[in-house]
Amino acid sequence: MKRYRYHAIFLFLLVISLCPSLHLMAEDGYRLWLRYDKIADRALLAKYNTSVTGWMTAGDSPLIASAAQELQSGLHGLLGVKIPNVHAVTSHGIVVAGTPASSTIISSLKLEAQLQGLGDAGYLILTTRHRGKKITAITALSDPGVLYGTFHFLRLLQSHQDIAHLAIKSLPKVKTRILNHWDNLDRTVERGYAGRSLWDWSALPDSIDPRYRDYARANASIGINGTVLTNVNANAKVLTREYLAKVAALAEIFRSYGIRVYLTARFSAPVEIGGLQTADPCDPQVITWWKNKADEIYEMIPDFGGFLVKANSEGQPGPQNYRRSHADGANLLADAVAPHGGIVMWRAFVYDKDVPDDRAKQAYNEFVPLDGKFRDNVIIQVKNGPIDFQPREPFHPLFGAMPATAVMPEFQITQEYLGASVHLVYLAPLYEECLRSETHCAGSGSTVARVIDGSVYPHPLSAMAGVANIGDVRNWTGHPFGQANWYAFGRLAWDPDLDSGAIATEWIRMTFSNDAAALNKIREMMLASREIAVQYMTPLGLHHIMYYGHHYGPGPWVDSGRQDWTSVYYHRADSLGLGFNRSSSGSDAVSQYHPATRDVFDNLQTCPENLLLWFHHVPWNYKMRSGKTLWGELCHQYDSGVQSVNWLQQQWRSLEGMIDSGRFSLVDGLLVKQARDAQIWRDGCLLYFQSFSRKAFPANFSQPAHDLAHYKNHIFSDIPGIE
Ligand code: BDP
Is 559 one of the catalytic residues? no
Ligand 1 pocket check for 347: Cβ under 6 Å:
no
Alpha-carbon span 347 to 277, nearest angstrom:
25
CA dist 631 and 638 (Å) reads: 11
684 CB-side CA count, 13 A: 25
Candidates 482, 480, 518, 524; CA nearest to 663 is 480
- Predicted pLDDT at 20: 38
Q: Is 550's C-beta closer than 6 angstroms to any atom of ligand 1?
A: no
- For ligand 1, whether the C-beta of 410 sits within 6 Å is no
Res 21: pLDDT: 40
Q: Measure the CA–CA gap between 269 and 289, rounded to whole angstroms.
A: 9
pLDDT at 285 over 90: yes
Residue 588, SS3? Answer: coil
For the chain, report the end-to-end CA distance as a whole number of angstroms.
Answer: 52
Q: Taking 50 as the threshold, does the pLDDT of residue 17 lie above it?
A: no
Q: Give the atom of ligand 1 at the shortest distance from the alpha carbon of 310.
A: 13
Q: How confident is the model at residue 351 (pLDDT cuts 50, 70, 90)?
A: confident
Task: Tell me whether residue 388 is one of the annotated catalytic residues.
Answer: yes
Query: pLDDT for 608-629, tens place per residue?
Result: 999 999 999 999 999 999 999 9
- Residue-wise pLDDT for 79-134, tens only, equals 999 999 999 999 999 999 999 999 999 999 999 999 999 999 999 999 999 999 99
Long-range contacts of the stretch 651-654 (C-beta < 8 A, 24+): 651/521, 651/524, 651/525, 652/525, 654/521
The three-point CA angle 209-212-217 to 5° equals: 140
pLDDT at 65 over 50: yes
Q: What is the pLDDT of residue 12?
A: 47
Give the pLDDT confidence of 152-170 residue by residue, as tens digits: 999 999 999 999 999 999 9
Model pTM? 0.96
Mean residue pLDDT of the chain comes to 95
Confidence of residue 1 (pLDDT cuts 50, 70, 90): very low
pLDDT tier at 4, thresholds 50, 70, 90: low
Q: 436: CA distance to ligand 1 center in Å?
A: 25
Atom of ligand 1 nearest to the CA of 313: 13
From residue 210, alpha-carbon distances to 79, 155, 251 in Å are: 25, 23, 14
Among 470, 475, 472, 473, CA closest to 489: 470
pLDDT value of position 34: 98
SS3 string, 174-236, reads CCEEEEECCECCCCCECCCCCCCCCCCCCCCCCCCCCHHHHHHHHHHHCCCCEEECCCCCCCH
Distance (Å) from CA 93 to ligand 1 centroid: 51
Nearest CA to ligand 1 atom 1: 388
Helix or strand or coil: residue 580? coil
Mean pLDDT of 412-438: 98
pLDDT tens, 534-549?
Answer: 999 999 999 999 999 9
The mean per-residue pLDDT over the stretch 519-535 comes to: 98
Q: How far is the CA of 569 from the centre of ligand 1 (A)?
A: 18
Question: Does residue 388's CB lie within 6 angstroms of at least one atom of ligand 1?
Answer: yes
Average confidence (pLDDT) over 349-374 = 91
Q: Mind listing the pLDDT tens digit for each residue in 225-276?
A: 999 999 999 999 999 999 999 999 999 999 999 999 999 999 999 999 999 9
DSSP states of 321-375: GGT--HHHHHHHHHHHHGGGT-EEEEE-----SS--S-GGGHHHHHHGGGTT-S-
* Model confidence at 353: pLDDT above 90: no
Cα 423 to middle of ligand 1, angstroms: 20
Residues 682-693 have a mean pLDDT of 98
- Residue 557 pLDDT: 98
Q: Is 357 a catalytic residue?
A: no
> Quick one: average pLDDT of 372-398?
98
- Residue spans of beta strands (DSSP E) within 78-158: 94-98, 123-130, 133-139
The residues, ordered by sequence, that sit 6+ positions from 621 with a Cβ below 8 Å of its Cβ are: 629, 630, 631
* Residue ID of nearest Cα to ligand 1 atom 12: 388
pLDDT value at 14 more than 50: no
Average pLDDT over residues 516-535: 98
CA 398 – ligand 1 centroid, Å: 19
Residue 10, pLDDT > 60, answer: no
pLDDT band at 352; cut points 50, 70, 90? confident
Amino acid symbol at 269: A
Question: What pLDDT, on a 0 to 100 scale, did the predictor assign at position 324?
Answer: 98
**Segment (H or E) for 553:** none
Q: What are the chain's domains?
A: 25-170 (3.30.379.10), 176-511 (3.20.20.80), 535-580+617-712 (3.90.1330.10)
Active-site entry in 335, 358, 366, 416: 416
